Amino acid sequence: MSTLPQFDTIKNSLYRTRNEKYPPLPNFIDDVKLEGSWRLTLNNEDFLVIDNSSPRYLCFGTTDSLKLLCDSEHIFMDGTFKSCPSPFAQIKTKARTYPYSTSFVLALK
């Protein structure tokens, strides 16, 4: 029976492989560039709805999720600073629920 290697023994190799496949994390909001597959859903739909430059914020969703939100009787919104990814300062979500489905739009500011 073989055993899996300990994380400490393979972590450098894992991090190197990850860094080869992903762009470096941006230090500033203006350095964030979403191009090609980084702005598409798994169904190849454009997922970046808004990319505003001044002030800089990004809004993610699909055309269908926006239509569902517009047709909703109730929309739930939330914002947080604590769990927002760097270099952004705030994350906001807008969601609606419907029996058996949820649609949402996500914004980073």
**pLDDT tens for each residue of 26-55:** 999 889 888 898 899 999 999 998 999 888
Query: Each residue of 59-97: pLDDT tens digit?
Result: 998 888 888 888 888 888 888 888 888 888 888 888 887
pLDDT at 44: 93
Q: What are the boundaries of each domain within the chain?
A: 7-108
Does the pTM exceed 0.85? no
Phi, psi (degrees; rounded to nearest 5) at 64: -65, -40
Please check the confidence at residue 103 and state whether its pLDDT lies above 70. no
